[in-house]
Each structure stands twice: as structure tokens, then as C-alpha cells.
Amino acid sequence: VFVLVYFANLLTLGAHFDRYLLPLVPALGALAGRIRPLVPLAILFLAVPLAWSIRDDVRLTRTDTRVAAADWLERNLPPGARVAADPSTPAVRGIVLPLLLPGPKRGFDSNRAVDRLREQGISHVLVTGAVADRVLAARDRYPREARFYADLRTRARRLYYVSSGKGLAGPWVALYRL
């Protein structure tokens, strides 16, 4: 009963994450042990989270892009730089203004405006695909936040960019100079 109720509840969610299936793994394993005809079905259902786990494990063996970015920033960020940073970016010296995470039922962060950042003496902006890609995918729901990322591309100079590949995994990270 738990498996059916839990699975039915998952179908009602607006967001789906792989980890939501993990509570089903032990229940399906136990169920398959008690009801032999369910073994092939349980194996099928258990193969999916196993494949996801293997994929995630392979990804976790690579250096995260945020670690690579933190190393570069420590070596290259000028002393005295005043940095505004997206959530989920590397923690480095100079971050004086954490930008708020956009999301449903959250107000607009007025610091997500290039002109305002310049007025506050911010010299650099550190952003990541972990936030920007989600905002841009839902630009109709986050038009001001999407405009902020567009303004960075057109009104600031990108000094650094790293993305997954070549032994790296994780979201892209970029540093802009205002």
C-alpha cells in the first residue's frame, strides 16, 4: 500500500527530483521478497534509481566547476574587489553582497540590476548556471531576473567562464566585471 500511495503522491508534484524515488527502493525490495511474481517488476523499478545513482557517482568523481572557479578566483580576483554573487557560487574573498535566490512567492531582489550594483560600488558579479539557467528557462515568470542576466552579458565584461567537460562536472560559473 505504501508504494502505491507514495507513487500516486509523486504524480501530483509539480517538480520531480530523482531523490524522491529513493524511499521506494527498500519497500520494493521487501515487497519483491514476499511476493515472488513481483520480482521482475521490482527489478525493473529498482534498475532506474540504480542507473541514476551510477550516473551521479560518475559525476561526483570529477572536479566540480565551482571548485575550479574558486581556485581561479583566489588567484585572479583583484584585492579589494567587491563581489555580488548568486547562491550556489563558490565562497571566495570579496563577496560582500549575496544575491537572493529567485523563486515562486519570493520578491524580486532589487540588487539584481547592473546600475544598482554599480551605485553600491560592486566591481564584480559572480553567477552560475545553477541559478541563471533556471531563471532563463522560466523567463516569463522571472522577467526582471532574466533581464539581469542579459544585462550582464551586454553591459559588463566577462572575465572568467568555466563549464562542465574536460574532467569537470557541475553548473557553469562566470565572473563579470562591471
Residues 83 and 142 placed together within one structural domain of the fold: yes
Residues 152 and 110 placed together within one structural domain of the fold: yes
Residues 79 and 56 placed together within one structural domain of the fold: no
Q: Within the chain, how many helices (H) and strands (E) appear? A: 7, 7
Q: Which domain holds residue 24?
A: 2-60
pLDDT of residue 128 exceeding 80, the answer is yes
Residues 42 and 111 placed together within one structural domain of the fold: no
Mean pLDDT of 9-15: 75
The Cα 162–Cα 177 span in angstroms is: 16
Residues 104 and 124 placed together within one structural domain of the fold: yes
Write out the three cell numbers for 176.
Answer: 563579470
Residues 69 and 152 placed together within one structural domain of the fold: yes
Q: Strand locations in the chain, DSSP E?
A: 63-64, 83-85, 95-98, 124-128, 157-162, 168-169, 173-177
Residues 52 and 109 placed together within one structural domain of the fold: no
- pLDDT score for 18: 67
pLDDT of residue 125 exceeding 80, the answer is yes
Q: What total of structural domains would you count in the chain?
A: 2
